[in-house]
Amino acid sequence: MWENLNGGSDTTTIANNAEVLIERGADAIIAPADFDYGSPAARAAQDAGLVGISPGATSPSYGSDVLGDKQFTIGYWNTAMGAAAAEWAYEEQGFENAYVVTYDGLDYTESLSRYFMESWENAGGTVVAEDKYSGGGDFSAQLQRLRNEIDNVDVIYISVYNPDLAQFIREIRASGIDTMILGGDGYDGPELSESLGEEHGNNIYYVTHAFLSEEANPNIPEFIETFEEHQGSEPLSILEALGYDTATALLEAIEAVGTTDGDALAEQMTSMEFDLLSGQLSWASAEDGHEPQKETAIVYLDEGQPVFDKWFQPEWTPEP
């Protein structure tokens, strides 16, 4: 039996909800898809001796090193996300100079930019500058600095959340800059593509977890059909598929080991390979942080419509 409690993006509520579920007899905890919001639930699960798993937390902190030996995430770490973007842009696109804009104050956005820049410089590229953005919707200063450097820039890497991300990209394109914009899984979903539309939604690439098409995975059409039957509408983004993958991996591991005992289940999860909608997944040992090992998906926008480009595995990733 599954039970769901809404944490409302409040860390205290999320921690309390996890405690309530544990008191009601939960055998495992599925936490929110983010380190900042998922870690309170993961810590509660760890304290109770239960396996916890996030559908999409990508911080390297979301694993056994920080949260404990029974905590996992389906989403690959920002180390791999940043490295994939850097290596793909440098090696396959031939770019050399990157301009980076980072939302200041969030683990996800800060670490993603940091790992991209480390990977970019490791590949041989140059970071022309890193600009910071602290919210509020005013990008005038960042846009002016970008315009001053644009002649020396091959690619613009932006690690900012929506809806600010969409606004910034619209302003960049409206100013006449058509340089490739690159980012991570925060670009995934209809909010960005619909906001940019045909006019501004071009030459934008991002690294994400999978893609909702048969081209990316032959099992996707069946998932979409099942999702529509249960929800009455199509899935909005790959995040719904990651939720499905989370349940699939957890149930397969429980079935394989025959128990929900936290120690046994966690050990079983690190001994298996899972064939998921988001690709082949295995987890490293607890000693290696339970790092997810899987390919990334490269997706781009063409007149505002997302298009699957390819699966990509970076050859080098930075240390967390």
Question: Can you read off the two tokens belonging to residue 33?
Answer: 């898809």
Residue 70 near residue 52 (C-beta atoms within 8 A): yes
- What is the domain extent for residue 90? 78-209+297-312
- Rounded Cα distance between 150 and 152, Å, is 5
Q: Is residue 261 part of a domain?
A: yes
Residue 62 near residue 35 (C-beta atoms within 8 A): yes
Least Cα distance to 207 among 238, 235, 191, 184 occurs for: 184
Both 273 and 303 in a single domain? no
Q: Is residue 140 part of a domain?
A: yes
What does the pLDDT read at residue 105? 85
Cα angle vertex 188, ends 186, 191, to 5°? 95
Domain with residue 202: its CATH number is 3.40.50.2300
Both 200 and 305 in a single domain? yes
- pLDDT digit string (tens) for 101-136? 999 988 889 999 999 999 999 999 999 999 999 988
Both 264 and 303 in a single domain? no
- Rounded Cα distance between 133 and 259, Å, is 47
What does the pLDDT read at residue 189? 87
What does the pLDDT read at residue 2? 62
Both 132 and 168 in a single domain? yes
Which regions in the chain score pLDDT beneath 50? none
Q: How many domains in the chain? A: 2
Both 97 and 40 in a single domain? no
Both 144 and 19 in a single domain? no
Both 40 and 180 in a single domain? no
SS3 of residue 157 by DSSP: strand
Beta carbons within 8 Å of 47's beta carbon, 6+ residues apart: none
Q: Is residue 224 part of a domain?
A: no
Both 148 and 204 in a single domain? yes
- pLDDT digit string (tens) for 208-253? 999 999 999 999 999 999 999 999 999 988 889 999 999 999 999 9
- DSSP codes, 186-236: GG-SHHHHHHHHHHH-SSEEEEES--SSTTT-TTHHHHHHHHHHHHSS--S
What does the pLDDT read at residue 92? 97
Whose tokens are 């970071």? That residue is: 127
Residue 57 CA from chain centroid, whole number: 6
Q: Is residue 239 part of a domain?
A: no
What does the pLDDT read at residue 229? 94
According to DSSP, residue 30 is labeled E
Residue 238 CA from chain centroid, whole number: 10
Both 70 and 157 in a single domain? no
Both 176 and 84 in a single domain? yes
Side-chain half-sphere exposure of 123, counting CA atoms within 13 A: 30
Both 49 and 121 in a single domain? no
